[in-house]
A and B are shown apart, each in its own frame.
Chain A
Amino acid sequence: MGWSDVYYFIMVPMVYAAFAIFMAGIVFKLIVVFFSKKSKGTFSTFPKILPRPLGVLKDAFLVPVAWKRDKILWFFIIAYHAAFVLLFIGHLELIKEFALLQIIPHQVFLGAGIVGIVLIISVLYFLFRRFKSPWRGISVPEDYLILLLIFMTMIVGSHLNLAARYNAAGFDIPVEDYRTYLSSLFAFNPTIPAGITGSPHYVLVALHIFFANLVLMVIPFSKIIHMVFTFLSLNIQRK
């Protein structure tokens, strides 16, 4: 078995496995929740100024608690999550062209490299914040390791993006090659085009996908599940 087999494993079977674990994990978590006992009473806090769905969405997306208590943290929470949405859209456009996403015309990957940089700086902030007391005392290894994993994924991804955009030293992998690769995965007919395998950046693409696979697999079983549970948890507070 050579390196090319390792790369192929990461970029094809492992991607399928990661997506399967990610989706099955989320469904599993929701099923477990659905079959758990409900509480008899209500756990509201008062006042409840906005009606429930609106209040939950406001609390989840605007994070007013962080705004009130720690404005720097609030800034990075919002920056990180907003950039994450753009990151998601950017990756969608690496699968195929979506006319809808080009309403505001832009070059793929969107953001001219800023999205990745914002994410990296935010992750570093979240990480370094934990080095300081009292946050140091409440942090567990999971908190550091997840941030580290996300950092690794993003630093490599960001590098690939910047290299492609600014065509640094011929390290460019054209968008079409990513689209061939990713859409072939979706069609269950995986191929890795020569534009990727032949690129000096092949190792970085594989590394990026390796870390991303790990992130995907970890999501349902770590605190990142807050991306789903936030809404359910906030809903109880307003019931």
Chain B
Amino acid sequence: MEKQKIAELRKILTSRLNRPMRYYNDTCTRCGLCYDTCHAYQGIPEKIYSPVGRAEVVRKLYKKYTRLSGYLFPYWGDSTSFNDPVMDEAYKAVWSCTGCRRCVMNCPFGIDTALMMSVGKHLLIQNGTAPEELVMLADAAVEKGKSIEEFKEGYRQVIRDLEKEVQKRLGLAEPDGLIPMEKKNAEILYVGLAGAHTIVNPAIIFNAARENWTLSFFEGVNFGFFAGDPEKADFIAKRIINEATALNVKEIVIVECGTAFRIMRFLMGKLPFKVSSIVEVIHRYLAAGRIKLKDKSVAEPVTYHDPCQIGRNGGIYDEPRDIIHAVAADYREMSPTREQNWCCGGGGGLVALDNEEFRIKSGKPKKEQIVKTGAKIVVTACENCVMQLKTIANGYGLDVEIKYLTEFVCENLIR
């Protein structure tokens, strides 16, 4: 590897050495308690897919470049310099980690392997070996943020078509105003995704609840975060924050996308408005009687998959269960559940990559969980999870239907 490149990689490495990273680098005792707590390791039992195995790839680089002992006695802690095989190893470690943070719950020190992997992603971008598709999607999102005025008219057209769909499904006379845009002082700025279902279903719910809301021009998904580029991740999230500030809304409501929700609620510092997941909002409407659902109308067994960023990393466990309980006559809990629920294997941008075979294998514990419940409908509240659960269902030939929570609610909404 060229000296120049090594210098650039070192710069990234040291720039990412913040307080948590210092703790995580120094504290791991390699006790191995986290070893088999990663779904990827469960599917493919190789060291590189274990949390500690992955973390060591980044840690040994830190040891080499930020510790005297790593420099003087590399064998003491197995420290290593930047070279092509190490970067290949990093690719394998990083791009098989969904950032689900299940391992954090199973480490006596709470070491956040996902954070360490985000440093690995950053290094791979600098190395020029990051997955191109994610880098391109992140660039496109940044570009949209820079020249939003050019995108607006085209987007309004798309939304007009979606309003007709909402009108049809709500049985209303007029489509106008069913998906408001650029509405100042609205209670809610709803942030969707590119797929029509991420706008139509929530729009039905907002209208049913007579909410004063407006739709964002931006998608909630943060490809900058997935790619591992902190600057782009920040820019992409700030597009929405700026929009919300300009419109003077009281609350940002995030689509069924776990990462978008976690970034906005937990990783952007203090914001002048509330950040909620659409799941919490539906729960709120239900509790306040603003929407009504057909009581126990679904007879088939239903289970719920906790998206990692909404459950374990977001603290939203009871709300989706309450909503499903209202509709499902036969609700079945997965085991293990809640904070110990297995990740589906699609998060962290993995579902956007050409890696289906790997994702089917790493989805093995999820498949086993679903099969054990005997459920025929799996409900979840994350775009990535739905896509990955469908891949798992197809890959293992499961006889289950995968549904978004908003879809499940809309199907059982009393109009």
A73 B31 Cβ-Cβ under 8 A: yes
Which A residues touch B30, using CB under 8 A? 135, 138-140, 143, 223
Complex Cα distance, B313 from A142, in Å, reads 33
CA distance A139 to B60 in the complex (A): 12
B169 interface residue (CB < 8 Å to A): no
Contact A138:B56 (CB < 8 A) given known A45-B313, A46-B314, A233-B109: yes
Q: Judging by beta carbons under 8 Å apart, are A137 and B53 in contact?
A: yes
Q: Which of B29, B67, B69, B105 has the most CB of A within 10 A?
A: B29
Residues of A close to B23: CB separation below 8 A: 33, 229, 232-233, 236
A43 and B47 in contact (CB under 8 A), knowing A38-B19, A237-B110?
Answer: no
Question: Please, what's the 1-or-0 string for A66-81, where 1 marks a CB less than 8 Å from any CB in chain B?
Answer: 1011100100000000
Closest B residue by C-beta to A226: B27
**Contact A138/B52 with A33-B22, A237-B110 known, Cβ cut-off 8 Å:** yes
Nearest Cβ distance between residue B32 and chain A, in whole angstroms? 5
| CB neighbors of A among B72-109 (8 A) | 75-78, 101, 104-109
* Set of chain B residues within 8 Å of A66, measured between Cβ atoms: 31, 33, 108
CA–CA, A32 and B25, complex, Å:
13
**Once the chains bind, are A142 and B33 in contact (CB under 8 Å)?**
no
Known A42-B266, A66-B108; contact A233-B313, beta-carbon cutoff 8 A: no
How many residues of chain A are within 8 Å of chain B by beta carbon?
46
Would A39 and B314 count as touching, CB distance under 8 A? no
Q: Which residues of A contact B272 (CB under 8 A)?
A: none
Contact at A40–B269, with CB atoms within 8 Å? yes
Q: Is A44 close to B, CB under 8 A? A: yes
The reply on B268 being an interface residue by CB < 8 A is yes
B177 close to chain A: CB less than 8 A: no
For the side of the interface on B, what is the size category? 35 or more
Q: List 14 A-B contacts (CB under 8 A).
A: A32-B22, A42-B267, A43-B112, A59-B110, A63-B108, A134-B35, A134-B47, A134-B50, A140-B76, A140-B77, A143-B30, A233-B20, A233-B27, A233-B109
Complexed CA–CA distance, A237 and B114 (Å) = 13
Asked whether, in the complex, the Cβ of A43 is within 8 Å of the Cβ of B26, the reply is no
Q: Give bound CA distance, A149 to B35, whole Å.
A: 26
Contact A226 B109 (CB under 8 A): yes
The one of A45, A48, A223 in contact with B27, judged by C-beta atoms closer than 8 angstroms, is A223
Q: Are B311 and A46 in contact (CB under 8 A)?
A: yes
> Is B312 interfacial (CB-CB < 8 Å)?
yes
- Please, which residues of chain B bring their CB within 8 A of the CB of A143? 29-30
B residues 264-295 touching A (CB-CB < 8 Å): 266-269
A41, A47, A145: the one contacting B339 at CB < 8 Å is: A47
Give per-residue flags for A206-239: 1 if the beta carbon is below 8 A from chain B beta carbons, else 0. Answer: 0000000000000001110110011011101100
Q: Which residues from chain B contact A32 at a C-beta distance below 8 Å? A: 22
Closest 9 CB pairs of A and B: A41-B267, A237-B110, A46-B315, A140-B78, A233-B23, A37-B18, A229-B27, A135-B32, A226-B27
> Is the CB of B28 closer than 8 A to any CB of chain A?
yes
Given contacts A37-B19, A73-B33, contact A59 B313 (CB under 8 A): no
User: Which residue on A lies nearest to B115, using beta carbons?
Assistant: A43
Q: How far is the CB of A204 from chain B (nearest CB, A)?
A: 27
- Please report the C-alpha to C-alpha distance between residue A159 and residue B338 in the assembled complex, in whole angstroms: 50
- Which residues of A97-144 are within 8 A (CB) of B? 134-135, 137-143
Q: How near does chain B come to A142, taking the closest CB pair, in angstroms?
A: 5
Determine chain A's interface SS by DSSP, over half rule.
Answer: helix
A236 and B47: CB pair below 8 A?
no
Interface centre among B23, B24, B37 (most CB of A within 10 A): B23
Contacts of B317 in A (CB 8 A): 46-47
Q: Does B12 contact A (CB under 8 A)?
A: no
Task: Tell me, yes or no, whether B17 is within 8 Å of chain A by CB.
Answer: yes
A203 lies within 8 A of chain B by Cβ: no
Which residues on the B side are within 8 Å of A221 (C-beta)? 67-69
Closest to B78 in A: A140
A226 → B minimal CB distance (Å): 5
Q: Is B350 an interface residue (CB 8 A)?
A: no
Is A65 in contact with chain B by the CB < 8 A criterion? yes
| B111 part of interface (Cβ distance < 8 Å) | yes
| Docked pose: A225 CA to B56 CA in angstroms | 17
Which residues of A have CB within 8 Å of B67? 221
* Neighbouring B residues of A59 by C-beta, 8 Å: 108, 110
Among A68, A73, A222, A236, the most chain B Cβ lie within 10 Å of the Cβ of A236
Whether A189 sits at the interface, judged by CB under 8 Å, is: no
Whole-angstrom distance between the Cβ of B282 and the nearest chain A Cβ: 19
For the complex, what is the distance from the CA of A67 to the CA of B315, rounded to whole Å?
A: 24
- B66, chain A: closest CB distance, angstroms: 10
How far is B20's CA from A37's CA once the two chains are assembled, in angstroms?
A: 9
Interface string of B100-130 (1 = CB under 8 A from A): 0100111111111001000000000000000
Contact A134–B32 (Cβ < 8 Å): yes
Residues of B close to A145: CB separation below 8 A: 76
B residues near A135, Cβ cutoff 8 Å: 30, 32, 35
Query: Known contacts being A45-B110, A46-B312, A233-B27, is A141 close to B78, with CB within 8 Å?
Result: yes
Query: How distant is B46 from chain A, measured CB to nearest CB, in Å?
Result: 10
B18's contact among A36, A137, A139, by CB below 8 Å, is which? A36
- Give Cα A60–Cα B115 distance, bound, in whole angstroms: 21
Cβ contact within 8 Å between B75 and A230:
no
Residues in A with CB closer than 8 Å to B50 are 134, 138
Given contacts A138-B47, A237-B110, 9 further A-B contacts (CB under 8 A): A33-B19, A37-B18, A39-B18, A40-B269, A43-B20, A138-B30, A221-B68, A225-B26, A234-B109
**Given A45-B104, A138-B50, CB of A236 within 8 Å of CB of B29:** no
How distant is A233 from chain B, measured CB to nearest CB, in Å?
A: 4
Complex interface: chain B residues within 8 A of A134 (CB): 32, 35-36, 47, 50
- Check if A45 sits within 8 Å of B101, measured CB to CB: yes
Chain A residues, Cβ within 8 Å of B268: 40-41
Expressed in whole angstroms, the Cα–Cα distance for A68 and B107 within the complex equals: 11
